[in-house]
Chains A and B, each alone.
Chain A
Amino acid sequence: MTFGQLPYDVAHLLGGGMLLLSFMLLYQRRVGAVVNALATQGALLAAAAAWQGFVQDAPQLYLTALIALGAKAVLIPLALRLLIRRLALARGVDTALGIGPSLLAGVALVALSILVALPITTGVAAMAREDLAIALSVVLLGMLMMITRRNAILQVVGLMSLENGLVLAAVGVAGMPLVVELSTAALVMLVLVVAGVFVFQIRGRFDSVDIALLHPHRGEGG
């Protein structure tokens, strides 16, 4: 596949859109906007999966798309919004690393993933390596989000975005069995539930969801 071929172009553009949204996640200062961006990313992922299903003629990918759309674009964002409202959490984003520096670090990570993806994919069609680089970038940006944000909710969002990147990489490869996709989705659901409970627990004990407050209770040092 090369440029100018519609199947490839659309898939490529959807991947690029997801990368753009990963940057939006890093850029936003309000939790509500972050959740919106996450929902959009989920919707794009669903579209990417559906498109791949159409192109590769693999009906199971439609199911993946449906799961992505239902869970990531609708249910989980709704749940997160509910959490925010129920807990009356602060609407602002509490950063450990400023917005500008984290964006800069994000671009550095993309450059890194390009550098990593290049040698691995020599021999593959020149176009596939850009896709791999994009998926890897989305994963790394999700991790960056988890590291650089203090709110527990945002860390959950980072985890979700990371998982989106993994799924994006998975649907791009022809013949990927659905089992893996289902299990990863279930895993993330599980993690989300755990995280939700976690949030409630912290809230109950410390009146805050700032995880820095947990450190004195770790029992190390004194």
Chain B
Amino acid sequence: MLTALALGLLGFPLLAALALPLGRRGGLVVHGGSAGLCLLLALAAGGSLGFGLPEGVLGLPFGPAWGGAGLAMDGLSAWFLLLLGLAGASASVFALGGPPRGLVAWPLFLFGMALALLAADSFTLLLGFEAMSVASWALVALDHREESNRAAARLYLVFAALAGLCLVAAFGLLGAVEFAAIRAVPPEGWRANAVLVLALLGAGTKAGLVPLHAWLPLAHAAAPSHASALMSGVMTKVALYVLARLLLDLAGPVQPGWWGLPLLALGAASAVFGALRANLEEDTKTLLACSTIEHVGLVTMGLGLALLFRGADLGALAALAAGAALLHALAHGLFKTLLFLVAGAVLHAAGSRRLDRLGGLIHAMPRTAVLALVGLGAAAALPPLSGFASEWLLLQALLAGWRLDEFGAQMAAAAALALVAMAAALAAAAMLRFFGMAFLGRPRSPRGAGAREAGRFELLALLLPAGLTLLIGLVPGAALALAEPAIRLLAGAAQVPAQGIAQGVGLAAGEGQAGLLPLSVALLLGLAGVGAWAVIRWRSPGATRRGPVWNCGFIDPPEHLIFGDPLSQPSAAGLAQPLRRMLGGALLAGREAVAMPSPGETRPARLEAGFADPSGRFLLTPAARLRDAVAAQVERLRDLSIRGCLSMAFGTLVGLLALLAWLEGG
């Protein structure tokens, strides 16, 4: 099994190598091959989750001298590999419908993620992680003719390097290389706490946790749509996988419960911040990227809660929180892939990512619109879709937070509960704004008015994640049953939950007293809708008439405005106004200013509105200043004499030797 998987993995670099000689005709081969390999990965992962995981570790013929490299698949790897396979397949199929670009980087990107997930030692994991970072950077930098994309790629590279460095240090502190060896001797004392901090910095940067999220909206908007779909849906999840692997598995079962608090706090901040910013952004892909920050935050909260419950010896609740995190990771990976691909289809059809240039696309692209509704309903946590099922689990875990026996932790859980609810409502508002601006109303530009339905590859690629989103939403219990090995791993192997949280196809929480049966809810919804429709048909048979829009008697537009008066349609900034005023002023430095002309002047009055992410002011600007200062200091090294240069090298050597002596001594 593992050998077959390893051979399958080798297919990706092979495809990347094929891309070069095939040139421009390679699109079909590379993307089609990637889609096939991804489906195989998903099948392998799903099959092993359902019918038994492969045992043991497959040694690789390379690796560091002090430890072998190897591949293995446990429940956690398989769960994330399943997501990678499904999302990767849809994104690859979508890419078939577009121009063949980034053919070398794409399979390598998939390869890196799969390698990181299947690694059985820190060397292989970091190798895969860095391959993923570099390949995705190449994809971000693909459209490098635009200045903004170059800036995004630069920023992304810096953050990816930071993440890589922190993770190397974190894994270095764990002592051994093979995971089995690390588990045998888990870190303790300051070393464990340092691992916590480094893991949060490294994986948190890659996952886009606030306040290290500055790169994410820029990079995801700059990459081609299928690449941003995978970056958002899967790459952030790989980072979360590393976080879970480090903190909940490798660091051992003995860590104190308070380890969960930073995760809970960072997750809550990310959730609210991301969702709010998604309401203010005016670019479809940036908006979706901000919503990714939100959902990554929710998954992190689930992991943090699992740690908290583990520390308090509440095994069943830890399983509940871990299940919420895992299910939400899968659900988000799928619906966010779907939404990014929808944004890509809209970009192809209507030629713009700006909300203020779209509108009325539901008439031109009805199928895309319906599939988009599925995705945004899940992102807005509406029943009976997958997002609701996973957030229901998360909320139930938070509602059980009072069982923690410390007032501080109880209050933290209560506050987190409020913040999750707020994030869900904000996400609903953001998704409504996205759909309402892009698909409803009237076209806002001639290019948008001439849009056509997406191609068959694109529709096919949308169909897979949309169907899965609906399926997971209807039978979340069946999905969670697959995740059971992973839940057991995250909840602490010693404390196997007495009762499963998956009950049949539904979910259960709170010792089985509270339950969710989405299938019956969907049935009831259908019944009520059909019943209402039948009654209405019987009582009100008259056909619908069409007439000019009423709009409170707003005056008809002049003849030359063929799309109607653009000013009488809501704009992106206008729709964002309530939230910009209510929350944006405090959290995102939102501002509105009216420039009135003085009496007699003929220029129109202008309303300027905008916001600034505080991470720019508090993190990026000081970092840039520090970089300049360091560069100025380093410049002085160039003026050193030969003796000076030699003494620097000598000093470094002696220092390293001293470090070695200290490490071996201690």
Contact = CB atoms under 8 A, between A and B. Distances in A.
Interface of A: 100, 111, 114-115, 118
Contacts of B407: 114-115, 118
A211 B495 CA distance: 62
A140 B586 CA distance: 25
A118 B586 CA distance: 33
B411 interface: yes
A115 B410 CA distance: 12
Nearest to A114: B407
5 contacts: A100-B586, A111-B411, A114-B407, A115-B407, A118-B407
A122 to B, nearest CB: 13
Contacts of B586: 100
Interface string B573-602: 000000000000010000000000000000
A115 B411 CA distance: 11
Interface of B: 407, 411, 586
A114 B407 CA distance: 9
Contacts of A111: 411
Nearest to B408: A115
A115 B407 CA distance: 8
Contacts of A114: 407
Contacts of A100: 586
List the 5 shortest-distance A-B pairs measured between CB atoms, nearest first.
A111-B411, A115-B407, A114-B407, A118-B407, A100-B586
Contacts of A118: 407
Nearest to A111: B411
A2 B411 CA distance: 24
Contacts of B411: 111
A118 B411 CA distance: 15
A202 B411 CA distance: 44
B578 to A, nearest CB: 15
A100 B411 CA distance: 19
A217 to B, nearest CB: 34
A169 B292 CA distance: 50
A100 B586 CA distance: 10
A95 to B, nearest CB: 15
Nearest to B582: A100
A31 B9 CA distance: 72
B419 to A, nearest CB: 13
Contacts of A115: 407
A130 B583 CA distance: 33
A100 B587 CA distance: 13
Nearest to A115: B407
A64 B411 CA distance: 37
B610 to A, nearest CB: 21
A180 B411 CA distance: 36
A118 B407 CA distance: 10
A111 B586 CA distance: 23
B265 to A, nearest CB: 15
A80 B140 CA distance: 66
A205 B407 CA distance: 51
Nearest to A101: B586
B427 to A, nearest CB: 22
B272 to A, nearest CB: 14
A115 B586 CA distance: 28
A186 B490 CA distance: 63
A182 B329 CA distance: 64
B189 to A, nearest CB: 28
A33 to B, nearest CB: 22
Nearest to B411: A111
B589 to A, nearest CB: 15
A114 B586 CA distance: 28
A118 B410 CA distance: 15
B585 to A, nearest CB: 10
A132 to B, nearest CB: 15
Nearest to B583: A100
B405 to A, nearest CB: 13
B648 to A, nearest CB: 52
B3 to A, nearest CB: 57
Nearest to A100: B586
Nearest to A98: B586
A100 B583 CA distance: 11
A115 B406 CA distance: 11
A84 B419 CA distance: 41
A86 B309 CA distance: 61
A187 to B, nearest CB: 34
A23 B241 CA distance: 44
Nearest to A108: B411
A100 B407 CA distance: 24
A112 to B, nearest CB: 11
A8 B407 CA distance: 24
A82 B221 CA distance: 62
A35 B586 CA distance: 30
A115 B473 CA distance: 42
A108 to B, nearest CB: 10
A59 B628 CA distance: 77
